[in-house]
């Protein structure tokens, strides 16, 4: 049976609740920055949805950077995980 390579999903970091809040928030923002770079640097998947997806991640990152609290929903994290898979996997092939 083939083994799957483990990826760092945004939802995985929620389990690391022992971290301090600012470190926790910085971790999420850092992962969102990485996702923005993947979306922006992937010419193979440049379609009409790319701008919407980039805008979604950018707005989410901005919201987290500007707020003093962590307001990210499960749906937002799941969407980011789907985008990570969409844009990350073509880069490793």
Tens of pLDDT along 55-87? Answer: 999 999 998 888 766 778 889 999 999 999 988
Q: How far apart are the first and last CA of the chain?
A: 20
- Answer whether 0.95 is exceeded by the pTM: no
pLDDT band for position 48 (50/70/90)?
confident
Mutual angle of helices 48-66 and 21-40, in 10-degree steps = 160
């Amino acid at each position: 049976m083939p083994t799957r390579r483990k990826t760092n999903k945004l939802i995985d970091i929620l389990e690391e609740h022992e971290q301090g809040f600012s470190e926790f928030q910085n971790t999420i923002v850092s992962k969102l920055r990485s996702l923005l770079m993947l979306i922006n640097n992937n010419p193979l998947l440049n379609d009409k949805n790319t701008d919407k997806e980039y805008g979604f991640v950018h707005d989410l990152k901005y919201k987290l950077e500007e707020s003093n609290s962590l307001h990210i929903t499960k749906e937002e994290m799941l969407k980011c995980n789907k985008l990570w898979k969409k844009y990350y996997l073509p880069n490793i092939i």
